[in-house]
Structure 1
């Protein structure tokens, strides 16, 4: 049977409970949707999972921006220590951010909000990793969105 075929109702009636077998529950929910048996869907848990997927995308962008900020700070304030590892990390994180923004373009408008929010934590990490006093680093995010995302920008 292919995705367009509609199985009999008893073949799609969900048997797995959300809390007892998540993978089976997901498979059954997808099968139920494909069968257009919306009355059998576990709507509340489906909504929770969809919202959770959106939150995960936001968290991933925030996390990757924090790493970019740490490495930009390290490059800016300890240029003599710049390593291929730092530059490679910037390249990897910016590439992953580009992928996130390609898949979810609406997140582009959140880049600066998230970067500014992540900056204090990034500054602490950069100070710890470089041995610099935290007071040496700017009190707020000194990088523009273009600088954060530009794969060629290294201060």
Structure 2
């Protein structure tokens, strides 16, 4: 292993941002022999996983607040609606940046609803039976800026 590669691996462990900047410089200058390809491939794969985790998390937050608005309307607050708006924006931006995430969003919708029910139960004190077993909202409604449950 070259000393440059050894330095790069050490740099990865000690200063992640500098490792990224150094890797970008190597790629831009076509210094491919000194790129730590293994770490770079891992990082690219991690970015994809991170995007999916973020999308899932944002969807769950929206669903939790929609459930709280519908099943505890007397406690409806501006902060709930503000959170819905913020997380819808994040979902929209993720889908605008990576349209291929739309099918992932459709695939995880039922799982996210189940997670949202658990969280809504914990946050509201209502029993799990208070919430529908099947999501009462369509994905298009959940992501629609104008939709709030009655």
Q: Please report how far the alpha carbon of residue 78 of structure 1 lies from its aligned counterpart in structure 2 after TM superposition.
A: 1.9
Structure 1 segments, 4+ long, off by >6 Å, are: none
Size of the aligned set, in residue pairs, is: 143
- Partner of 1:16 in structure 2? 8
Cα deviation 1:78-134 (Å, max 9, x = unaligned): 223221111111111101111111111111122222221122221011122222111
Q: Please report how far the alpha carbon of residue 38 of structure 1 lies from its aligned counterpart in structure 2 after TM superposition.
A: 1.5
Q: In the alignment, is residue 53 of structure 1 matched against residue 47 of structure 2? A: yes
| TM-score w.r.t. length of structure 1 | 0.85
Q: Distance in 1 between matches of 2:98 and 2:135?
A: 24
- Unaligned 5+ runs, structure 2: none
Cα deviation 1:126-145 (Å, max 9, x = unaligned): 12222211111112322211
- Partner of 1:89 in structure 2? 83
Q: Distance in 1 between matches of 2:66 and 2:77?
A: 12
- Unaligned 5+ runs, structure 1: 1-12
Q: Please report how far the alpha carbon of residue 51 of structure 1 lies from its aligned counterpart in structure 2 after TM superposition.
A: 0.4
Q: Please report how far the alpha carbon of residue 148 of structure 1 lies from its aligned counterpart in structure 2 after TM superposition.
A: 1.0
- 1:138 corresponds to which of 132, 137, 145: 132
Q: Distance in 1 between matches of 2:37 and 2:143?
A: 38
- 1:64 corresponds to which of 34, 58, 66: 58
Do 1:65 and 1:114's aligned partners in 2 also have CA atoms closer than 8 Å? no
Larger Cα Rg: Structure 1 or Structure 2? 1
> Which sits farther off after the overlay, 134-143 or 44-53?
134-143
Q: In the alignment, is residue 36 of structure 1 matched against residue 30 of structure 2? A: yes
Q: In the alignment, is residue 125 of structure 1 matched against residue 122 of structure 2? A: no
* Secondary structure in 1 matching 2:101: helix
| TM-score w.r.t. length of structure 2 | 0.88
Do 1:32 and 1:41's aligned partners in 2 also have CA atoms closer than 8 Å? yes
| Residues 69-80 of structure 1 aligned to structure 2 (within 5 Å) | 69-80=63-74
* Secondary structure in 2 matching 1:153: coil
